């Protein structure tokens, strides 16, 4: 004859063990998206989260280089009227900045290997910046527009 008490105790023990295993598994899965440590390096997060154009930008195509020397030298309004994009880098990472007149906007950024981003001020404004950090360094990249072209500030 099988005693009811040991069977019930075994069933309850099994249920508690299974519940604990499920809880630990769910906790482990919650760390997959956020990383095990605060501020985990996620170089694609800023590129994925960053919209491709500032809220005030139009759908017109934008040049990807400096305006022509003749347009800059003549000081014509067309040199600053159309948006100009430029990629700028330092030891912490790279940004792509766009100038429309004297307003700069950070289109996107990518930290270098081992760095992550912090304190992003994307604009549009007179100055825009992003801070690239790792365990030992904080490297700030400030950008402004000079003659309608994005320039890194020292």
42 contacts 35 by C-beta, under 8 angstroms: yes
Do the bridges between strand 84-90 and strand 93-100 make them parallel or antiparallel, or are there none, so unpaired? antiparallel
pLDDT band at 118 (very low <50, low <70, confident <90, very high): confident
pLDDT at 31 over 60: yes
User: What pLDDT is recorded for position 67?
Assistant: 42
pLDDT per position as a tens digit, 138-151: 999 999 999 889 99
Q: Tell me the β-bridge partners of 108.
A: 96
pLDDT digits (tens, 9 = 90+) for 79-111: 445 788 889 988 889 999 999 888 999 999 999
Q: What percent of the chain has pLDDT over 90?
A: 26
Q: Is the pLDDT of residue 74 over 80?
A: no
């Amino acid at each position: 004859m099988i005693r009811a008490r040991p069977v019930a105790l075994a069933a309850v023990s099994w249920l508690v063990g299974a519940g604990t295993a499920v809880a630990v598994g769910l906790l482990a899965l919650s760390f997959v998206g956020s990383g095990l440590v605060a501020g985990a390096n996620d170089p694609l997060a800023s590129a994925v989260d960053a919209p491709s154009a500032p809220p005030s930008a139009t759908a017109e195509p934008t040049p990807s280089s400096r305006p022509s020397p003749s347009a800059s030298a003549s000081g014509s309004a067309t040199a600053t009227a159309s948006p100009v994009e430029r990629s700028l880098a330092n030891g912490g990472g790279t940004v792509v900045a766009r100038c429309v007149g004297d307003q700069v906007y950070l289109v996107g950024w990518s930290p270098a290997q081992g760095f992550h981003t912090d304190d992003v001020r994307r604009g549009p404004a007179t100055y825009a910046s992003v801070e690239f950090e790792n365990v030992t360094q904080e490297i700030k990249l400030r950008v402004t527009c000079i003659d309608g072209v994005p320039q890194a500030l020292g």
